[in-house]
Structure 1
Amino acid sequence: MSANGAAAAAQTGGRPSPGQGVWRRRLPGLVLVALVALACLWIGQFVPVVSPLILAIVLGIVVRNAGLLRPVVRTGTEWSTKRLLRAGVVLLGLQLSVGEVLSLRPGELVTILATVVITFATTWWLGSRIGTSRTTSLLIAAGFSICGASAVAAMSAVVPEDETSDDDVATSIAMVTLFGALALFLLPALQGVVGLDDHQMGVWIGASVHEVAQVVAAASAVSAAALTVAVVVKLGRVVLLAPMVALVGGLERRRAARTASRADDGAPVRVPPLVPLFVLGFLAMVVVRSLGVVPEDVLERVELLTRFLLTAAMFGLGTGVHLATLRRTGGRAVALGAASTLIAATVSLVGIHTLA
């Protein structure tokens, strides 16, 4: 033992420091999260239609509700959920190049913007009309209009903590999984019915399917040309993540301020951030990627790390889900997810026929 280590041990009576104790409690959960993430990524290599993120959250839900989650791992799984997720969202920005998105035709860019805005606004409004909770409606609107689970997680950061829960987030991601899977098989089968060529099918799939992995699987079923277009269009939707979160963050701050002004008991009202720091990090990474200063081999490694972080976080999120709560709220969420999917597919299809 070094002199410094001996001195530290002497000062604490040979016991680990508080910081060391915290990390020792987190370690079992972190190891479990990492192992599950690696397993999900490995399975995803052999079954591309299965998103590792979705598989991870399903496994987390199963582990929690089957009583397999031991207290010794909970500290680590709870810690990993938000932190790994936010780190993954930041690195997701390195997959986006503004130049690639701007290479699309003007009509295609308008179609992407219209699909995101109309799907988001209509889904959020419709959720309140059918009785879905305000938070769940907002998160489903974000996930279905932008980029699935990552958008759900980013949007949850601007909702006051006392108004959101793991169940809200899990319900929204479950809807992304269900309807993304349906769209994955349904849209390619409708090519002849809707009268689109392969390029247009790529635009339609990229503009209306939720998860990136689902977009890849659906477009691959059409052709290689459709796949190339679909991925770029999907990235165009992801670029809108930061401005949409900033817009909703501003609305949430105004609502919190009005709540505070009406409060008579003097209790503090927590105001959500206008733009979470990790979303600003996401924007910074988009700029870095667009400047072309990061070598391709580094980007490939970062992409793998990003998928690992997001997958690990999804497992941690799943371990916080109570199926009994999902059963109570699931019917309305399914109805809202079905409506949101139909809205995104219809708006983007109309845009392709009239603008693209």
Structure 2
Amino acid sequence: MTHQNLTRILPGLLTAVVALAVAFAIHAAVPALPAMTLAVVLGLLAANLPGTAVWTAGRARPGLDFAGKHLMRGGIVLLGLKVSLSDVLGLGWLALLLITAVVVASFAGTYWISRLFRLPADTALLIATGFSICGASAIGAMAAVRRISHRDTVLPVALVTLCGTLAIGVLPLLVHPLRLSTEAFGAWTGASVHDVGQVVATAQTAGPAALALAVVVKLTRVILLAPMVAMAGAEQRIRHRREQGSRAGGPAAGKPPLVPLFVAGFIVMVALRSSGWLSPGWLEAAAGLQDVLLGAALFGLGSAVRIRTLLHTGARGVLAALAAWLLIAVLGLAAALLMVP
């Protein structure tokens, strides 16, 4: 990176770092509020308060866009270090099949709902990916492999954050009416809540047993990010080849990658974590770095959302997201009750 480029993005990166420090401080004071969700909310505030809106839209914008795109990819790579194949396989084949079925059904259902509300195909794809797998991280991965504009990820990230935050408040209230055991609630949370931090915030209300199961179920969904992105990449390559052939009949130039480099890095990190070679200290340090990268990225994405624009163009998106959230909650509950009778 040249000195000129560094000078250009530095104000935005420093802004993201300061905001992230505030998010971590609030999370330390109120653990029920995930730091990643707070990062998005602070980004939204920074983009819409009169005192900071000019800064985030002007001098800080290049660095915030850099964070939203490139730091997000680094965070996705390190996310792989949270996934241990032994923990995933320990759930048993029935649970694995149920979780996979929830992901596939929620992806298809969310995409269909989004299109029913007349959202663009790319937006529907990103919303379906984020809701069914792992929130903003999955949205960033899918946007990269499909070469979807960074600007077009803003609405899906806002919606997945909104609904994930809604789950933190709503799901614990349903434990007693639904007569769920601690383990069933943990499985439900892991199968239906979007972001890892939101899963932790929701499940910990029922105790350590619910939290432990919720995290493993959630990380099983996370591991499905790689095959889903690979399939999307393969479909993009086929489409690209057809378009090139219909234009000139010549060799296709600039083919999109089947699997982006950062997704391959995610797979390598999963293998490394599963090998058991890394000490707890290294895993803890990587988890801290991942939080910093993803938090800065989410602040950058949140700072691009203008509430007026969102209210004007995103009303259908909000309704579609709420419908999809209800669908995934029902699918996740059914799977949880089958996993934990």
8 Å CA contact 2:12–2:56 kept in 1: the answer is: no
Aligned length: 335
Distance 1:354 1:21, change over 3 A: closer
Question: How far has the Cα of 1:35 moved from its partner?
Answer: 1.9
Question: How far has the Cα of 1:264 moved from its partner?
Answer: 7.4
Q: Which residue of 2 aligns with 1:93?
A: 80
| Match 1:147 to one of 134, 137, 150 | 134
Question: How far has the Cα of 1:217 moved from its partner?
Answer: 1.7
Q: TM-score, length-normalised on structure 1?
A: 0.87
8 Å CA contact 2:126–2:156 kept in 1: the answer is: yes
1:105 lines up with 2:88 in the alignment: no
**RMSD over aligned Cα, in angstroms?**
2.3
Q: Which residue of 1 aligns with 2:62?
A: 75
Which amino acid is 2:326 matched to? L
CA distance in 1, matches of 2:213, 2:282: 24
CA distance in 1, matches of 2:325, 2:121: 19
User: Secondary structure of 1:194's match?
Assistant: coil
| Match 2:232 to one of 221, 228, 248 | 248
Distance 1:302 1:165, change over 3 A: closer
Question: How far has the Cα of 1:322 moved from its partner?
Answer: 3.8
CA distance in 1, matches of 2:186, 2:15: 38
Higher deviation after alignment, 232-241 or 250-259? 250-259
Higher deviation after alignment, 281-290 or 174-183? 174-183
8 Å CA contact 1:95–1:289 kept in 2: the answer is: yes
1:277 lines up with 2:261 in the alignment: yes
CA distance in 2, matches of 1:70, 1:256: 34
Unaligned 5+ residue runs, structure 1?
1-17
8 Å CA contact 2:33–2:201 kept in 1: the answer is: no
8 Å CA contact 2:172–2:202 kept in 1: the answer is: yes
Q: TM-score, length-normalised on structure 2?
A: 0.90
Unaligned 5+ residue runs, structure 2?
none
1:292 lines up with 2:276 in the alignment: yes
Question: How far has the Cα of 1:265 moved from its partner?
Answer: 12
CA distance in 1, matches of 2:249, 2:275: 51
Distance 1:84 1:233, change over 3 A: same
Q: Which residue of 1 aligns with 2:24?
A: 41
Cα deviation, 1:70-126, whole Å, max 9, x if unaligned, reads 743333223232111111111111111111111113322222111111101121123
Distance 1:98 1:261, change over 3 A: same
8 Å CA contact 1:49–1:213 kept in 2: the answer is: no
Which amino acid is 1:27 matched to? L
Task: Give the alignment of 1:331-350 within 5 angstroms.
Answer: 331-350=315-334
CA distance in 2, matches of 1:117, 1:322: 32
Q: Which residue of 2 aligns with 1:29?
A: 12
CA distance in 1, matches of 2:311, 2:257: 31
Sequence identity (%):
42
CA distance in 2, matches of 1:68, 1:23: 18
**Structure ID, larger Rg:** 1
Cα deviation, 1:16-52, whole Å, max 9, x if unaligned, reads xx92233233322222222222221222222222222
